[in-house]
Chain A
Amino acid sequence: MTPLTPPPIDYAAVAPLLIVLGAACVSVLVEAFLPRHQRWPAQVALSVVAIVVAGVTLGVYAGDAPAQGVITLGSTMAVDMPTLFLWGTLLVLGFGSLLLIADRSVEPGGAFVASALERASAGAAPGSTTGPSGVDPEHVDRSYGAPGDAPTMQTEVFPFTLFALGGMMAFVAANDLLTMFVALEVLSLPLYLMCGLARRRRLLSQEAAVKYFLLGAFASAFFLYGVALLYGYAGSVRLSAIAEAAVGTDRSDALLFGGLALLIVGLLFKGSVGPFHTWTPDVYQGAPTPATAFMAACTKVAAFGAIARVLYVAFGSTRWEWRGVLWAVAIASMVIGAVLGLTQTDLKRMIAYSSIAHAGFLLLGTMAITQAGTSGTLFYLLAYGFTTIAVFGIISLVRTADGEATHLSQWAGLAKRSPLLAGVMTFLLLALAGIPLTSGFTAKFAVFSAALSDGMAPLVVVALVASAIAAFFYLRVVVLMYFSETPADGPTVSVPGAFTTVAITLGVVVTLLLGVAPTLVLDWAGAGGFTG
């Protein structure tokens, strides 16, 4: 028996990932051993410090990272320029989401609780249509604070967030399909749980969690089956090995393309690309808004980072075979997102359909197996992520006694009562619609021009038409806010706490900056390609 030699590890390269995952483990210990009232400050401090330190480490490493990238951990991780950019994106977006998650001022005690009974003990207002009511106070579980105490928060959400973030970072860096699958599960499981933690509208939240879990498991199965077929084809799960096999063998292509199809279905599901989007509206609507922000921004980054890597590294040489199919998927996604968004009456569902349309746009960039396509996609992910976090931050501020007022009719005439909020929301919606001087325009321009120069003109035309259709439902919100009469029992606008203010400000400033001066970030995004 030959002695096992541990593979060499480039610790500097993977340090940000290790820091985030390590912090997640510490966070579990904090949850287990600290008394309840100390957990929130400890968890917030730990998470913030972990993300900031990971970010600094990443920055230091990226300063003199080799341009062609590093493959480490026994060739399971590829830390190349796109990985570094995606890690950076994930960390800043994760930071923004974490601020929303940690906020306890908008929803007293925070948006996260564990059980239905918790709501009663937290002294929330009755009258929720979906939550259970009339709970017998004798049977209230007191372990999370006595009635009359200040409502408390389910601090497990912090380790969840950190684990999910770590999983996403591993996901976009994974250099073989098995690592990718493990990372997929690491990022997914905490997300399922986070969906079910809403303080208000418990049933909707738990239903969303179950749906997401069931469909996610279904998609994971597709992914795994695809991995199996590809292993059968190439004899390896490494992306570069698959690429080599596709060029230099006469093995049956049925395994290759069958495997690709199933693999890509699993990935498209995570990216909420139509027609694998069905979970998105329900989950976005049901999940606590900060968790929705996290999912919408970071999961999108992770999924499209992985899709871009798989297509670029493993299937770059066979692009002419699969591109037609992805054309159809992209068109379906853009049309579904834009058209179905038209008749949505719930703001969170509307943003969900918007994200499906955006997923279609993003697919254009990933399909262009060129440097411009990669950098455009990366830029788009960053821009979209920040805008989305700010949008959900704003949504969490408009409330009635019963929680967030997400029905469109409740937003009527909001500009009269809160001109600042309406102005910011208008700016963000314009960014989602892709109006110049916002990051949305620059991002769309980068992706569309990359697609155009790679011979996808018809697709770009469809994308432009879809953008035009989608602009309608964004602008409808603007019109509602500015030109409609305020309903008598309209929602109130909460004064955001420091955390939410910072998160929204960050999103708005980045949206504006990327719209006005995009070159710097575009240069970073285009610093280097994927390494296989």
Chain B
Amino acid sequence: MIALAPLLFVLPALGALINFLAGRRANAWGHWLGVATVVASFVIGLLLFFETLGLAPEERTREVSLFDWIASGSLNVDFGLRLDPLSLTFVLLITGVGSLIHIYSVGYMSHDPGRRRFFAQLNLFVAAMLILVLGNNFVMLYLGWEGVGLASYLLIGFYQDRPSAATAAKKAFLMNRVGDVGLAVAIFLIWLELGTLQYTDVFARIGEVPGGTVLAITILLLLGACGKSGQFPLQSWLPDAMEGPTPVSALIHAATMVTAGVYLIARTSPIYNLTETGRLIVSLVGVVTLLIGAVIGCAYDDIKKVLAYSTVSQIGYMILAVGLGPAGYALGIFHLLTHGFFKAGLFLGAGSVMHAMNDDVNMRHFGGLGKHMKITFVTFGLGYLALIGFPFLSGYFSKDAIIEAAFAQEGWQGWVFGGAATLAAGLTAFYMTRLMIMTFFGKERWRELKGPDGKDYHPHESPATMTVPMIVLAFGSVLGGFLLYSIGLYEWLAPSVGELRELEGGVLPHALVPWLVVAFSLLGVVIAYLVVGRRPTPVERPSPVSVPVRAARRDLYANTINETLIERPGIWLTRALVFVDNRGVDGAVNGIAAGLGGGSGRLRRLQTGFVRSYALSMLGGSVLVVAALLAVRFA
């Protein structure tokens, strides 16, 4: 059975290759090929999962070595797979959600001339993501890491004729590079210290590395995680990435790729276990991000951007969780899985709404859509309830567990982490309720408006290829949390990330926390109803508005900060360097060249063509050689 493991990523890679190379011939069947390869991967993943489930817990980590990939001096890298509970969990998430989204895309992209290219890129993404989670060493991780970065870049810029899409793709790529450099340097450091990049060797021997270096490695790994997962301070690319087609937003920028950072930290948990400071920094990043995401989410009118900031915020929860160490790794993965379901469902719902509304994303143009698209409304509504942590839906289990763990920290950390997480839960309830009300309830504002393409709106339910995945994901949103919790996800993950430590101590009684969170969420819902639901929503954005709203609308000035701190000095530096290059370097080079050329021209005249002068120069040379030799001897 384990021999099938390479097929997991080989099949989608083949799908991508065929779709890329076959050209127009594949237009008719390319998308179905894409779907088939990912579904096949999912089936293989299931088989491997059940096989592993049958093994004793200590035998569940297995390695498959495929071939020697890099053998150069003391650097030896195996192209090998690590099949353990953590990687298999990710495999199921990636291929499972991936399959649904591939099916959904068949309907969503049915009118797009670039559909084959789209599926090729989507398959490429799935293959790269599977390599990322399956590799048994850091170089394969990096290969997958860069692969998903490439696929993400291509897919964000899929509508390449739109300048905004091209810009967003570039932005995502550049900000990811910043993170990638961190990851690369972390890998270099590990190799420098240990001379190996295999997970097993590194984790067995990481204790030999001095503490300062371990801290540096953890911070650099975190930088990588921040880039890929849209965490502070590299969060601002993720909302812009919504320029891509909606299935992409669902698959890559909500369910899978952006969780790569969480995977990275969970995978390298033996390193993080060694450094308290490193974990603290991780948690702080998570807390800052989850607040930023929740605050900005309240101010946007673009349905996809609200969901995007919601994603930023939810990944912040996961990062916070994995930053809590052995008490949190499994919780982070748990939230990652439930979030994968309900956020993918929400995005697909948003896509369905856009599909019905002439690709409009402005919620102020929506209203009262619930009657016109019942399946979308119900599935979206269930995703919404799961996200805000409605009791016994999946978000309730996973998010509450994280908040409980946060409050279980001692001292200021318990108050800060727990408090921020609870506050953000309230904010989440607010902005999601606002989104629900503006989209599905209230007055049908679109009746008096024209769409962005100048046509009237005709809201309608989407085709079955789109609604079926939404229904499946809605089931996941409702039941996923409970199922995963009751079948023992924590014990299942234990061989990979360690036993989940029981919560003890902390700043608040544990029984109180769920009540507190539910209360805050309820408060958020009520406020949203009072602010949005009871008044007619203006079609135009109101302005002027209060200072916090203005700040939130401008992404809490993240772009401004980036521009002032990075872009401007960068431009100045470039200009200065160009100046130095033109005047200084080129000047010196040209000067030397001119000098040599001039010298050559003058020396050339010595070559007169007369034998007598040649003989004279030989004689001169000979006299010099004789004189010099005698002088050396008798000096």
Chain A contact residues, CB within 8 Å of chain B: 210-211, 214-215, 218-219, 222, 253-254, 257-258, 260-262, 264-265, 269, 275-276, 278-279, 281-282, 321-322, 324-325, 328-329, 336, 339-343, 469, 472
Contact = CB atoms under 8 A, between A and B. Distances in A.
Given A257-B630, A282-B609, A340-B604, A469 B596 contact: yes
Given A257-B630, A276-B618, A276-B621, 4 more contacts: A215-B614, A215-B618, A219-B618, A342-B596
A283 B609 CA distance: 11
A258 B629 contact: yes
23 contacts: A210-B611, A211-B611, A218-B618, A254-B630, A254-B633, A257-B632, A261-B622, A262-B622, A278-B607, A279-B614, A282-B609, A321-B629, A321-B632, A321-B633, A322-B632, A325-B632, A329-B625, A339-B603, A340-B600, A340-B603, A343-B601, A469-B596, A472-B593
A321 B631 CA distance: 10
B195 interface: no
B625 A261 contact: yes
Contacts of A343: 597, 600-601, 604
B204 interface: no
Nearest to A338: B596
A275 B604 CA distance: 13
A180 B173 CA distance: 71
A346 to B, nearest CB: 12
B548 interface: no
A317 to B, nearest CB: 14
Interface in B573-630: 593, 596-597, 599-601, 603-604, 607, 609, 611, 613-615, 617-618, 620-622, 625-626, 628-630
Nearest to A342: B600
B615 A260 contact: no
B279 to A, nearest CB: 48
A373 to B, nearest CB: 20
B621 A265 contact: yes
A278 B613 CA distance: 9
Nearest to B628: A325
Contact of A218 (B600, B609, B615, B629): B615
B128 to A, nearest CB: 33
Contacts of A329: 625
Given A340-B604, A342-B596, A275 B617 contact: yes
A343 B622 CA distance: 27
A258 B600 contact: no
Nearest to A469: B596
A214 B621 contact: no
Interface residues of B, number: 27
B386 to A, nearest CB: 61
Contacts of A210: 611
A227 to B, nearest CB: 15
A89 to B, nearest CB: 28
A257 B630 CA distance: 6
B617 A262 contact: no
Contacts of A262: 622, 626
Contacts of B628: 261, 324-325, 328
A113 B603 CA distance: 35
Contact of A269 (B599, B603, B618): B618
A522 to B, nearest CB: 22
A56 B629 CA distance: 43
Interface of B: 593, 596-597, 599-601, 603-604, 607, 609, 611, 613-615, 617-618, 620-622, 625-626, 628-630, 632-634
A106 B603 CA distance: 36
A264 B625 contact: yes
A265 B596 CA distance: 28
A264 B622 CA distance: 9
A472 B626 CA distance: 34
A325 B625 contact: yes
Nearest to B618: A276
B630 A258 contact: yes
Contacts of B632: 257, 321-322, 324-325
A328 B625 CA distance: 9
A341 B271 CA distance: 61
Contacts of A269: 618
A269 B618 CA distance: 9
Contacts of B633: 253-254, 257, 321
Contacts of A275: 617-618, 620-621
B588 to A, nearest CB: 14
A222 B622 contact: yes
Contacts of A322: 629, 632
A258 to B, nearest CB: 6
Contacts of B615: 214-215, 218
B625 A339 contact: no
Chain A CB within 10 A, most for which of B597, B599, B609, B625: B625
Contacts of A215: 611, 614-615, 618
- The 3 A-B pairs with the shortest beta carbon distances in the complex, nearest first, are A278-B614, A275-B621, A261-B626
Nearest to B615: A218
A278 B618 contact: yes
Contacts of A219: 618
Contacts of B614: 211, 215, 278-279
Contacts of B618: 215, 218-219, 265, 269, 275-276, 278
A339 B607 contact: no
A452 to B, nearest CB: 23
A520 to B, nearest CB: 23
B611 A214 contact: yes
A36 to B, nearest CB: 35
Nearest to A256: B633
A469 B620 CA distance: 26
Contacts of B611: 210-211, 214-215
Nearest to A275: B621
Contacts of A218: 615, 618
Contacts of A339: 596, 599-600, 603
Contacts of A258: 626, 629-630
A170 B615 CA distance: 27
B617 A278 contact: yes
Contacts of B600: 339-343
B1 to A, nearest CB: 46
Contacts of A260: 629
A203 to B, nearest CB: 12
Nearest to B601: A343
A276 B624 CA distance: 12
B22 to A, nearest CB: 33
A281 B611 CA distance: 12
B601 to A, nearest CB: 5
